[in-house]
């Protein structure tokens, strides 16, 4: 009993320390921004731009700026245009505005990052007449890179856990295995089983993967150090793919009864189905709205969390521009608020993973029911 109390105390202490570290290191990119370009420019501090720089994707991974020099990891750009792949480092855009490549006919192909317009911030191909067209872009961007890192971590963790089970057999779990096991049991006993029923085992691997994928990425997104801190689950493309998986599984595993419910909804008056098929249309649209809502909910929650934390930190610099004293005074309050927001985000990280998995399993349960 005493052991478990001391464990909990240690855990809470560690958590608080981590959160403090997190909120202090969040300051780094902001300081960097304050004297961006390496000069003492009189550039106005733009909190919105800073925040969106963090929230959105980019072709390089900016770590920090030291004495006016950007320290970034330049990621590869991979584009497909007119039957040919072009692969080059985004470092090329750092030195020069444009990148000149050659296609197989020996003609020059020019790429640049659009500064404004429809494709702002994206790699575009500049045609000879100066028009910009967007090639098929499968670059390893910051988000993709962060995604790979968190996926690797997830796989490593789970293989370790599986190894733990293989080695320890039916004995009590230990180490990382003991950390993950309660969550696995939680997903199984409180999410999958009650919502899907007896056939839950068919969906369990997916639910578990989705839960841990979201949970891992949410948590790693809160760590502001280099290999982490990417806004992955706060990216609509990522959440859209997750929702798409749920959508596909739901409708693929859907029973006859489920489709009957959609196209010939029982228990509604006939004039809602004929001549105007109002109910079927509503039901059918509902099929698509469900995963759409899943994607938007996760994206909005995580993005909002990142915006709030960064917003609190930016307040220091907004006030600091007015007077140094105000900025200094605000820093104490801002850090406290950011710590609070980070604590909240840790909670949200879990809740959103839970909600996504819960709703997925409810949809599976509805689609799989037979009677």
Partner 1 sequence: MELITPDFGLLFWMTLAFGIVFFILAKFALPVINGMLKKREEEITNALELAERTHKEMEQLQVDNEALLHQAREERDKILNEAKLISDRFIEEAKVKANEEKDRIIENAKETIENEKMAAATEIKNQIADISIKVAEKIIGKTLESDKEQMDYINRLLQEIEERTQK
**Using CB under 8 A as the criterion, which residues of the chain lie in contact with partner 1 when the complex forms?**
52, 55-57, 78, 120-121, 136-141, 143-144, 147-148, 151, 154-155, 158-159, 161-162, 165-166, 169-170, 181, 184-185, 188, 201, 204-206, 208-209, 213, 235-238, 240-242, 244-245, 303
How many whole angstroms from its chain centre is CA 195? 26
Nearer to partner 1 by C-beta: 162 or 281?
162
Nearer to partner 1 by C-beta: 161 or 315?
161
Burial of 53 (0-12, 13-18, 19+ CB in 10 A): middle
Minimum Å gap between C-beta 54 and partner 1 is 12
Minimum Å gap between C-beta 230 and partner 1 is 11
The answer to whether the beta carbons of residues 280 and 264 sit under 8 Å apart is: yes
Minimum Å gap between C-beta 299 and partner 1 is 8
**Positions of E strands within 17-97:** 60-66, 69-74, 76-81, 84-89
Minimum Å gap between C-beta 73 and partner 1 is 17
Q: Which residues contact 138 (CB under 8 A, 6 or more apart)?
A: 78, 79, 80
Nearer to partner 1 by C-beta: 142 or 290?
142
Minimum Å gap between C-beta 276 and partner 1 is 32
Which string of DSSP letters, residue by residue, matches 186-216? HIIIIIIHHHH-TTHHHHHHHHHHHHHHHHH
DSSP 129: T
141 phi and psi, to 5 degrees? -85, 180
Closest CA to 334 of 306, 305, 307, 314: 314
Nearer to partner 1 by C-beta: 112 or 261?
112
Nearer to partner 1 by C-beta: 16 or 185?
185
Cα separation, 133 vs 293, whole angstroms: 32
Minimum Å gap between C-beta 20 and partner 1 is 30
Beta strands across the sheet bearing 123-126 = 98-102, 108-113, 123-126, 132-133
How crowded is residue 92: how many other Cβ atoms within 10 Å of its Cβ? 17
Nearer to partner 1 by C-beta: 144 or 337?
144
Nearer to partner 1 by C-beta: 158 or 259?
158
Minimum Å gap between C-beta 151 and partner 1 is 5
Q: Which residues contact 99 (CB under 8 A, 6 or more apart)?
A: 88, 92, 93, 110, 111, 112
């Amino acid at each position: 009993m005493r052991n478990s109390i001391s464990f909990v105390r240690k855990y809470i202490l560690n958590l608080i320390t981590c959160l403090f570290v997190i909120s202090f290191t969040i300051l780094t990119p902001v300081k960097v921004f304050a004297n961006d370009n390496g000069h003492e420019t009189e550039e106005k501090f733009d909190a919105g731009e800073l925040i969106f720089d963090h929230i959105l994707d980019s072709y390089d991974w900016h770590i920090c700026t030291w004495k006016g020099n950007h320290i970034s990891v330049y990621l590869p750009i991979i584009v497909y245009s007119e039957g040919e792949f072009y692969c080059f480092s985004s470092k090329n855009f750092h030195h020069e505005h444009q990148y000149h490549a050659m296609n197989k006919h020996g003609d020059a192909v020019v790429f640049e990052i659009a500064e404004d317009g429809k494709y702002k911030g994206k790699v575009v191909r500049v045609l000879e007449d100066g028009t910009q067209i967007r090639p098929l872009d499968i670059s390893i961007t910051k988000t993709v890179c962060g995604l790979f890192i968190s996926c690797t971590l997830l796989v490593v963790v789970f293989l370790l856990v599986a190894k733990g089970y293989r080695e320890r057999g039916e004995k009590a779990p230990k180490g990382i295995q003991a950390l993950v096991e309660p969550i696995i049991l939680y997903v199984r006993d409180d999410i999958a089983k009650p919502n899907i029923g007896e056939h839950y085992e068919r969906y369990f691997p997916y639910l578990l993967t989705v839960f841990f994928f979201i949970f891992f990425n949410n948590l790693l997104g809160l760590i502001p150090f280099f290999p982490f801190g990417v806004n992955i689950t706060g990216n609509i493309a990522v959440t859209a793919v997750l929702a798409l998986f749920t959508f596909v599984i739901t409708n693929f595993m859907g029973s006859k009864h489920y489709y009957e419910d959609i196209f010939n909804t029982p228990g509604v008056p006939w004039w809602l189905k004929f001549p105007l098929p109002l109910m079927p249309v509503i039901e059918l649209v509902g099929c698509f709205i469900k995963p759409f809502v899943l994607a938007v909910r996760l994206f909005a929650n995580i993005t909002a969390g990142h915006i709030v934390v960064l917003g609190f930190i930016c307040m220091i610099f907004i006030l600091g521009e007015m007077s140094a004293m105000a900025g200094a005074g605000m820093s104490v309050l801002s850090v406290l608020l950011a710590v609070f927001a980070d604590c909240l985000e840790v909670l949200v990280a879990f809740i959103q993973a839970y909600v996504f998995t819960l709703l997925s399993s409810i949809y599976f349960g509805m689609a799989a029911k037979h009677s």
